[in-house]
Chain A
């Protein structure tokens, strides 16, 4: 099946530093990748949609200068949390839509295992 990886799985950083999270589709090409954020005991909230070779589309309330997204290829998207603060501590999850696999008009998304960020 389609596999999506994230690196790192865990990161602890000091307040004010920047953290980069990678999302890779390992065995397929993804037209679109998504970044979600999940607070403890809560649901996933979509942060942004990333298309290869173009600028990401951010959801309302998500600061694009704070959460930089780069989608350099059909298998890699990166999320950089710039000048991280404790309130950015969260579980960040990416997903990738499988190129060419459309079921009823809805591309199936495959999710990565997530990256837990703790900002001290």
Chain B
């Protein structure tokens, strides 16, 4: 499976300001990449996925991510944070040859009033 590295374990933003959660991948082949969100005591929810159709991927709740091959990055962004965005975010790498998923260590997003 695609290996991913989340560069920040914690990110804190003020409500209404932009969100940037960083993720780098490492592979020589075209990856499948995902962002999942996990709210406290709840299941994982798929935010968006990249499957080589377009480099800018739009997801749910206003999130989007841009696949940059030159930087081997797949950073997650949102123009304006909302209090309900506070959660754990996982960048996940997939494999074109199977189902295996490789989870990053997660980034905890804190949104302050």
Mark A residues whose CB is within 8 Å of B.
Answer: 4, 32, 34, 42-46, 49, 93, 95, 97, 103-114
Besides the contacts A106-B99, A114-B42, what 10 more A-B pairs have beta carbons closer than 8 Å?
A: A43-B105, A44-B90, A49-B100, A93-B43, A97-B99, A104-B51, A104-B52, A106-B32, A110-B46, A113-B43
- A70 to chain B: closest CB distance in Å? 19
Given contacts A34-B99, A103-B49, are A42 and B43 in contact (CB under 8 A)?
no
Q: Select one of B90, B97, B104 contacting A105, CB under 8 A.
A: B97
Identify the closest chain B residue to A31 (Cβ). B99
For the residues of A in contact with B, the DSSP-based class is strand
Closest 8 pairs (CB-CB, A-B): A104-B51, A106-B32, A113-B43, A111-B44, A105-B96, A106-B94, A43-B103, A44-B103
Within 8 A of A (CB), among B74-113: 90, 94-97, 99-101, 103-106
Identify the closest chain B residue to A9 (Cβ). B41
List, in ascending order, chain A residues with CB within 8 A of B106's CB.
42-43
List, in ascending order, chain B residues with CB within 8 A of A108's CB.
46, 49
Q: Select one of B42, B101, B105 contacting A113, CB under 8 A.
A: B42
Identify the closest chain A residue to B53 (Cβ). A104
